């Protein structure tokens, strides 16, 4: 073998390696890829239906059953008391809104910055936004004393001329979450249209799925004009939804920051909550992707180590940002020297639930920093799943510390009392089950992989050989 041949072999290996590593350099024929995605939707084992059934029962009993019981008997069946008027309900609300954040973050910000690794998993992340917001809505409505009158919080014209109080952070909250839910649903829907059209063309006539796809695809045929309109709309939404996303969690934080409570009255809460939301949301995206990749057919082709690697890097970055904001918040509150805040900070670390405070720091900072620095480790889906799970537990602890534990300490020591959760634990489990259930249902109905986006990316990428070097080139398509 001559040295030229040897070099040729080496170059071949290099190209093969690149193709194996990067989805964008490993194109398949369009028809085959479409069929793979259709097949991934239609290949359902009996295990899926067992899990689906169990989750349905949990949702029916824990979520709707327990909620009905609570509506019939009053909030006394939950654990909320004086002074912890808000308990796990609000913890879960903030938690689910946090989960819903990363969906948009990953999809919109990475789309705006044209990060190529986003392509196969934007949809999985966007779905998380919509389904997470549904759970946040459930959690916040559950905590109301008279939920049957919740429409009074909407600005509905009425004969008494009564409007909601726009001074109240809760009113801002409701408007912000509604705006976010509507805009993120539209943002989920727009890139879905070409895929729905693809599914419509590959579904046999006379089935209800055909009707479903036909109605939702809005007659999309893939003409040049349709693509131009779609691209313009998506571009507008990707830019417009980013400030909406930042505003939502800032406004959620104002529910606390605008109050007079020690521990809540902190000016840094806005960005601190946004970063916390991204932290838990990134972890959740990693968990969803690990499950999707291992459980759905053909997904090993679409979701690869490179995607987990990139996600792991983002998680590490967000973890560092969270640590900074946590330190900042703690430092400023401690330095403020207010005697009630001092009591509260001491109670956080040294109180009966002090272990939660330390667990929060270990799960949110120590474990991500200790594992995600390593490229090989963070390319491993199940390691990322584990880290994501721990981050989510840690972030849930963070919200638990901010809400019921901080409410325990107030300016009237006579009313200090611990909070013991009641039926809200089941309601919380119910929302988790409902989230997974919605996701599983969606995975059977809509393509979890934005096929057209992957194909577009693969068309834009090519391997070119200059002299002896093989390099990746990306052309601008839009």
Nearer to another protein, 160 or 464 (CB): 160
Between the two ends of the chain, the Cα-to-Cα distance in Å is 45
Q: Which position among 18, 109, 144, 463 is part of the footprint of another protein (CB under 8 A)?
A: 144
Check residue 459 for interaction with another protein (CB under 8 A). Answer: no
Nearer to another protein, 195 or 255 (CB): 255
Q: Which position among 22, 143, 200, 348 is part of the footprint of another protein (CB under 8 A)?
A: 143
Q: Give the max Cα distance, the chain.
A: 93
Nearer to another protein, 191 or 422 (CB): 422
Q: Which position among 65, 164, 386, 441 is part of the footprint of another protein (CB under 8 A)?
A: 164
A 10 A CB-CB count for 310 gives 19
Residue 198's contacts (CB-CB under 8 Å, 6 or more residues apart) are 34, 37, 447, 451, 452
* 93 SS3 class: helix
Check residue 161 for interaction with another protein (CB under 8 A). Answer: no
Residue 101 in tokens: 């954040």
Find the part of the chain contacting another protein (CB under 8 A) among 68-76, 219-227, 300-308, 365-373.
68-76
Check residue 425 for interaction with another protein (CB under 8 A). Answer: no
Check residue 73 for interaction with another protein (CB under 8 A). Answer: yes
Check residue 353 for interaction with another protein (CB under 8 A). Answer: no
Residue 29 in tokens: 């024929």
Check residue 162 for interaction with another protein (CB under 8 A). Answer: yes
Distances in Å between the alpha carbon of 383 and those of 23, 40, 177, 419, 459? 21, 24, 33, 34, 32
* Helical (H) or strand (E) element with 469: strand 469-474
Comparing CA positions, the residue from 340, 329, 334, 342 lying closest to residue 260 is 340
Check residue 75 for interaction with another protein (CB under 8 A). Answer: yes
Q: Which position among 258, 393, 429, 463 is part of the footprint of another protein (CB under 8 A)?
A: 258
Residue 219's contacts (CB-CB under 8 Å, 6 or more residues apart) are none
Residue 410's contacts (CB-CB under 8 Å, 6 or more residues apart) are 83, 261, 262, 340, 416
Nearer to another protein, 74 or 222 (CB): 74
Nearer to another protein, 200 or 399 (CB): 399
Q: Which position among 3, 5, 31, 149 is part of the footprint of another protein (CB under 8 A)?
A: 149
Give the chain's length. 478
Q: Which position among 25, 170, 321, 359 is part of the footprint of another protein (CB under 8 A)?
A: 170
Considering the complex, what minimum distance in angstroms separates the CB of residue 181 from another protein? 18
Helices (H) and strands (E) in the chain, counts: 22, 2
Residue 315 in tokens: 């998680």
Residue 476's contacts (CB-CB under 8 Å, 6 or more residues apart) are 460
Considering the complex, what minimum distance in angstroms separates the CB of residue 196 from another protein? 38
Considering the complex, what minimum distance in angstroms separates the CB of residue 411 from another protein? 5
Query: In angstroms, what is the C-alpha Rg of the chain?
Result: 24
Considering the complex, what minimum distance in angstroms separates the CB of residue 135 from another protein? 19
**Cross-strand partners of 461:** 474
Check residue 93 for interaction with another protein (CB under 8 A). Answer: no
Check residue 377 for interaction with another protein (CB under 8 A). Answer: no
Residue 107's contacts (CB-CB under 8 Å, 6 or more residues apart) are 118, 122, 125, 126, 129, 187, 238
Separation of alpha carbons 478 and 475, rounded Å? 9
Check residue 179 for interaction with another protein (CB under 8 A). Answer: no
Considering the complex, what minimum distance in angstroms separates the CB of residue 397 from another protein? 20
Residue 281 in tokens: 């949301």
Considering the complex, what minimum distance in angstroms separates the CB of residue 418 from another protein? 9
List the interface residues with another protein, window 394-423 (CB under 8 A): 407, 410-415, 417, 420
Check residue 168 for interaction with another protein (CB under 8 A). Answer: yes
Nearer to another protein, 254 or 322 (CB): 254
Separation of alpha carbons 365 and 374, rounded Å? 15
Check residue 74 for interaction with another protein (CB under 8 A). Answer: yes
Check residue 76 for interaction with another protein (CB under 8 A). Answer: yes
Q: Which position among 21, 171, 209, 462 is part of the footprint of another protein (CB under 8 A)?
A: 171
Separation of alpha carbons 334 and 337, rounded Å? 6
Find the part of the chain contacting another protein (CB under 8 A) among 15-23, 80-88, 131-139, 341-349.
80-88
Residue 64 in tokens: 């709707």
Phi then psi for residue 461, to 5 deg, are: -95, 140
Footprint of another protein on this chain (CB under 8 A)?
Answer: 73-76, 80-86, 143-147, 149-150, 152-153, 162-165, 167-171, 174, 255, 258-261, 407, 410-415, 417, 420
């Amino acid at each position: 073998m001559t040295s030229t041949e040897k070099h040729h072999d080496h170059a071949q290996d290099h190209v093969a390696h690149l193709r194996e590593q990067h989805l964008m350099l490993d194109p398949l024929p369009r028809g085959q890829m479409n069929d793979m995605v259709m097949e991934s939707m239609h290949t359902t084992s009996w295990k899926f239906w067992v899990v689906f059934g169990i989750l349905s029962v949990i949702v029916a009993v824990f979520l709707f059953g327990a909620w009905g019981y609570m509506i019939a008997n009053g909030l006394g069946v939950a654990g909320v008391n004086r002074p912890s008027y808000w308990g796990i309900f609000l913890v879960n609300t903030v938690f689910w809104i946090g989960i819903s954040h990363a969906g948009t973050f990953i999809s919109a910000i990475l789309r705006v910055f044209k990060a190529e690794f986003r392509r196969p998993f934007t949809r999985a992340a966007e779905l998380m936004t919509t389904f997470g917001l549904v759970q946040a809505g459930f959690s916040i409505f559950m905590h109301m004393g008279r939920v049957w009158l919740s429409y009074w919080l909407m600005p509905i014209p009425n004969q008494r001329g009564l409007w909601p109080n726009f001074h109240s952070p809760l009113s801002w909250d409701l408007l912000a979450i509604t705006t976010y839910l509507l805009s993120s649903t539209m943002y989920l829907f727009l890139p879905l249209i070409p895929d729905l059209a693809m599914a419509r063309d590959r579904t046999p006539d006379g089935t209800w799925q055909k009707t479903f796809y036909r109605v939702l695809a809005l007659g999309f045929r893939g003409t040049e004009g349709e693509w131009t309109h779609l691209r313009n709309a998506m571009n507008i939404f990707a830019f417009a939804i980013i400030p909406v996303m930042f505003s939502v969690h800032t406004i959620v934080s104002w529910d606390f920051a605008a109050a007079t409570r020690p521990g809540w009255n902190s000016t840094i809460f806005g960005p601190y909550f946004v970063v916390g939301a991204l932290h838990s949301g990134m972890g959740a995206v990693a968990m969803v992707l690990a499950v999707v990749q291992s459980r759905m057919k053909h997904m090993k082709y679409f979701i690869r180590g490179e995607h987990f690697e990139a996600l792991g890097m983002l998680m590490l970055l967000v973890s560092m940002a969270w640590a900074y904001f946590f330190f900042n918040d703690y430092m400023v509150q401690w330095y403020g020297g207010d005697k009630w805040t001092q009591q509260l900070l001491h109670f956080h670390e040294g109180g009966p639930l002090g272990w939660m405070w330390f667990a929060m720091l270990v799960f949110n900072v120590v474990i991500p920093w200790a594992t995600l620095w390593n490229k090989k480790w963070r390319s491993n889906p199940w390691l990322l799943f584990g880290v994501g799970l721990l981050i989510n537990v840690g972030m849930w602890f963070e919200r638990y510390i901010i809400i019921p534990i901080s409410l325990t300490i107030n300016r009237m020591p006579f009313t200090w009392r611990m909070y013991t959760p009641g039926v809200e634990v089941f309601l919380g489990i119910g929302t988790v089950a409902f989230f997974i259930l919605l996701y599983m249902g969606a995975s059977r109905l809509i393509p979890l992989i934005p096929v057209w986006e992957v194909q577009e990316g693969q068309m834009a990428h090519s391997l070119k050989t200059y002299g002896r070097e093989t390099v990746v080139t990306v052309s601008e398509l839009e």
